[in-house]
Amino acid sequence: MNEDLSLNTVPTEKLASLKQLTLIVYILYALSFFTGITSIVAIIINYVKREETEGTLYASHFTWQIRTFWWSLLWAVLGVVLMLIGVGVVILAVDTIWVIYRVVKGVLNWNDNKPMRV
């Protein structure tokens, strides 16, 4: 990823819109703990709008969010399968804590206008 995230080449209105959208996606991921379905909406937004974030600090946030979704899904499926032998509960608990960490870290960097290190 290009570390030169020059914000001068993107119009201010566009940056404000991307910043708001990035927060909305983080909120959708957080809400998925209660609804489940909002993470599907979030990942769709990530892929549909990803190209628009190129060249901004929000591109790193979108990559962070996408990786969080797919890795969490992998570990959740593995955890459910391994519930048959009892270790699945531990995997699901660790996965949940990891996702909470990723959402909180993302929102904190978003709030400080920092890119994610992906």
DSSP state of 112: T
- Cβ distance 38 to 31 under 8 Å? yes
How many domains, the chain?
1
pTM exceeds 0.95 for this model:
no
pLDDT of residue 8: 55
Answer whether residue 118 is part of any domain.
no
pLDDT tens, per residue, the chain with 118 residues: 444 454 557 788 999 999 999 999 999 999 999 998 999 999 999 999 999 999 999 999 999 999 999 999 999 999 999 999 989 999 999 999 999 999 999 999 999 999 999 7
117 domain-assigned = no
Cα(1)–Cα(109) distance, integer angstroms:
17
* Token output for 28: 């959708």
For residue 70, tell me if it sits in a domain.
yes
Close Cβ partners of 56 (under 8 Å, ≥ 6 residues apart): 5, 7, 10, 15, 18
* The total number of residues written for the chain in this structure: 118
Compute φ and ψ for 19, nearest 5 degrees.
-60, -45
Residue 102 resides in a domain: yes
